[in-house]
Amino acid sequence: MSSKLESGTPTQLVILSGKGGTGKTAVAAAFGHLAHAGPSPIPAVLVDADVDAANLELLLEPRPLERHEFVGGSVARIDPQRCTDCGVCEEVCRFAAILASPGGGDYHVDPVACEGCATCHYQCPEQAIRMEPQLAGHWFRSQSRYGPLFHARLRPAQENSGKLVSLAKQQGRLAAVEEGYPLMIVDGPPGIGCPAIAAAAGADLALIVGEPTVAGIHDLERALGMTAHFRVQSLVCVNKGDLYPEGVSMIEDRCRARGVEMIGWIPFDEAVTRAMVQGQPVTAWQSESPASRALLAVWESVRGHLDGQRAIARPLRAV
Amino acid sequence: MRIAVASGKGGTGKTTVAVSLALSLLTDGAWKRAERHAPLFLDCDVEAPDAHLFLHPVIERTKQASVPVPKVDEGRCTLCGECAEVCVFNALAVLGDRVLLFPELCHGCGSCSLICPEDAISEVPRVMGLLEAGPADGLHFAHGVLNVSEPMPVPVIRQLKAWARPEPGQLTIVDAAPGASCPMVETVRDADFVLLVTEPTPFGLHDLKLALEVTRELGLPAGVVINRDGIGDRGVEDFCASENLPILLRIPFDRAIAEGLAQGRTLVEVRPEYRSLLSEMARRISEIVSAARSDTA
């Protein structure tokens, strides 16, 4: 039987959450480690798609190999020599990005408010407005302890994070195809907007890391709605499951109602933070800690799904 | 005064701090005597709006958040393609004998309808989210909810801020989205102060630095709340000291707090002693804002 993991295109696993801080990156780093050095290794390319606040590298000790510029959108700039203070730009701008001086006229652009739409550029009767491309960030290829890592950094206050996510993923995918990696593990951003959608696009499987809290459950449902809309098959695991056991049952119920499998839960474990301080995935730093053992079980279940096998539903008990 | 509660990293406790800060002021005698209005609470984390789960507002007003998208009158359109050419978001394309619209890419700038030489483009609203407002335990509450599968949170945030305006002099507490890109920037850019909630871990430190870069670029005063104090390491502490960034509150890691929050209780319900600490923090913020204002005046 030939499974998808053995065919030419890499399988894409994306890790999402909805709510921030549920432990996506801790899970992604553990998966990177287990894919490399676990009981049944599988070569994987790692992608950090949280370009706003990229943390995966903090656990993987990457050695940078390549650095590339990412040019995002543009910002309008008014040439004061050509500007006749006619005010057309201010009139057509829907983002309140054209500011007049206190005495009127003498227009200039608020670069933070500017959407980069170029409406003012096209409408200016004097051709006095240029659109200047902005260096919005960088993307990198690095060699991590567990395989190639593609990561990116959006400069603070920049837009187009979805495009940078797509770029980092595309580069990771090309490398996986060329160099024969069967798996790509994508650490996604929080939320359900453009960068999360870009991270989920084209994924074969999404693992949504939930939290058994009222806020975590609310946002987990929104994340599941998003992956369902884009027809990405999803699994759920629950982090810090012992914090509020009723919350775990609630998640289990909601998953059942949506036909989504909840594959396990990870207990709250101080070893996760201590491993982070050491710059390591918890599974590498303390493989016998409660969180590490639970992560191994979750990883094996995900592996089962990736292999196209029906994983046996695990009873929802502590590991 | 407008205080934005933000963080680079998600899940550090923005909503926890923002909600309990607002509730603390409501019961603070000195604050109530000095203020004419109860605080306005704005949840701008429209991708993952959670504050209502703790504040239980009674929704009295709603409004759809929408973006105007083009509608092409095929009778007038000559397929000249100018609309597609000026659209920097690639939301329009001329294909064969039709103009194709990709509505989820449209930012609603109106450039296409202005440029069309045949006047063939009108605009229709495309709903991408919902704004809701109402009283919550004595607070004024409003939030925006981005529709699931919609990619753009910023228009919803922008419209929420325009719709739920504070009364003159009313304190506004704004709960921001995590990160350091457009949703966070749109939320904090008109604040008087940015409260950065972080945790004392390498992730917390890394993302605090990014968020601080944004507040500095915007020229906004900022201060830090260290949540789950005691876990992790000293990195955040040392960074705040070296950057002269005031640490305004520490909330130690406490399993009872974590369990209470999980069940939808607020920090000040679980640990009432934080009421006075949070009110005190609001007073310090107000002093910092006044000092910053007199510096620039």
Partner residue opposite A53 with nearest CB, options B9, B114, B146 = B9
d(CA A160, CA B251) in angstroms, rounded, equals: 34
pLDDT at A104: 83
Domains of chain B, CATH where assigned: 2-56+137-296 (3.40.50.300), 67-127 (3.30.70.20)
Could B111 and A122 be called an inter-chain contact, meaning their C-beta atoms sit closer than 8 Å?
Answer: yes
Q: Do A156 and B146 touch (CB under 8 A)?
A: no
Give the residue carrying structure tokens 């294909």: B95
DSSP H stretches of helix in chain A:
24-37, 57-60, 88-92, 119-123, 161-179, 194-200, 214-229, 245-258, 270-277, 282-285, 290-306
pLDDT tens for chain A, 319 residues long, are 444 555 568 999 999 999 999 999 999 999 999 999 999 899 999 999 999 999 999 999 999 999 999 998 999 999 999 999 999 999 999 999 999 998 888 999 999 999 999 999 999 999 999 999 999 999 999 999 999 999 999 998 888 899 999 999 999 999 999 999 999 999 999 999 999 999 999 999 999 999 999 999 999 999 999 999 999 999 999 999 999 999 999 999 999 999 999 999 999 999 999 999 999 999 999 999 999 999 999 999 999 999 874 333 333 333 3
- For residue A212, what pLDDT is reported? 97
What is the reported pLDDT for A315? Answer: 35
Q: Which of A119, A121, A187 to mutate to test the interface with B (most CBs of B within 10 A)?
A: A119
β-bridge partners, A138: A69, A153
Query: What is the distance in angstroms between the Cα of A103 and the nearest Cα belonging to chain B?
Result: 18
* Chain B, nearest residue to A57 by Cα: B203
| Alpha-carbon distance B85 to nearest alpha carbon in chain A (angstroms) | 11
- Chain B residues with CB inside 8 Å of A75's CB? none
Which is it for the CA torsion B119, B88, A200, B11, positive or negative? negative
Residue whose entry in the numeric block shows the structure tokens 């699994």: A235
Residue of A nearest to B148 (CA): A226
* Domains by residue range for chain A, with CATH: 4-61+145-306 (3.40.50.300), 72-135 (3.30.70.20)
Contacts of A246 (CB under 8 A, 6+ apart): A212, B263
Contact between chains at B10 and A19 (C-beta distance less than 8 A)? yes
Residue A312's pLDDT is what? 37
Residues B248/B215, Cβ–Cβ less than 8 Å: no
Residues of B in contact with A123 (CB under 8 A): 111, 114
Euclidean distance between CA atoms A37 and A270, whole angstroms: 23
The H or E element that residue B4 is part of is strand B2-6
Two structure tokens written together for B65: 């958040």
pLDDT, one tens digit per residue, over B206-246 is: 999 999 999 999 999 999 999 999 999 999 999 999 999 99
So what's the pLDDT on residue A308?
75
B177 contacts A276? CB cut-off 8 A: no
Residue B50: predicted pLDDT: 97
Contact A193 B152 (CB under 8 A): yes
What percentage of chain B reaches a pLDDT higher than 70? 100
CB within 8 Å: A273 and B181: no
Q: Which of B111, B202, B213 sits opposite A117 (nearest CB)?
A: B111
- The predicted pLDDT at position A295 comes to 98
Q: CA-CA distances (angstroms) from residue B270 to A105, A198, B5, B257, B259?
A: 55, 39, 21, 6, 9
Q: Each residue of A48-79: pLDDT tens digit?
A: 999 999 999 999 999 999 999 999 899 999 99
What is the Cβ-side half-sphere exposure of residue A145, based on CA atoms within 13 angstroms? Answer: 18
- Reported as a single tens digit per residue, the pLDDT across B238-295 is 999 999 999 999 999 999 999 999 999 999 999 999 999 999 999 999 999 999 888 8
Angle at A195 between CA B163 and CA A150, to 5 degrees: 155
Task: Check CB contact under 8 Å for B211 and A154.
Answer: no
Closest CA to B54 of B161, B163, B226, B175: B175
* Mean pLDDT to the nearest integer, B139-149: 97
For residues B103-125, one letter each, b for 16 or more C-beta atoms within 10 angstroms of the residue's C-beta and e for the rest, the string is ebebbbbbbbbebbeeebbeeee
Strand partners, A64: A142
Q: Which chain A positions have a beta carbon within 8 Å of B121's beta carbon?
A: none
pLDDT at B297 (0 to 100): 64
Amino acid at A223: A
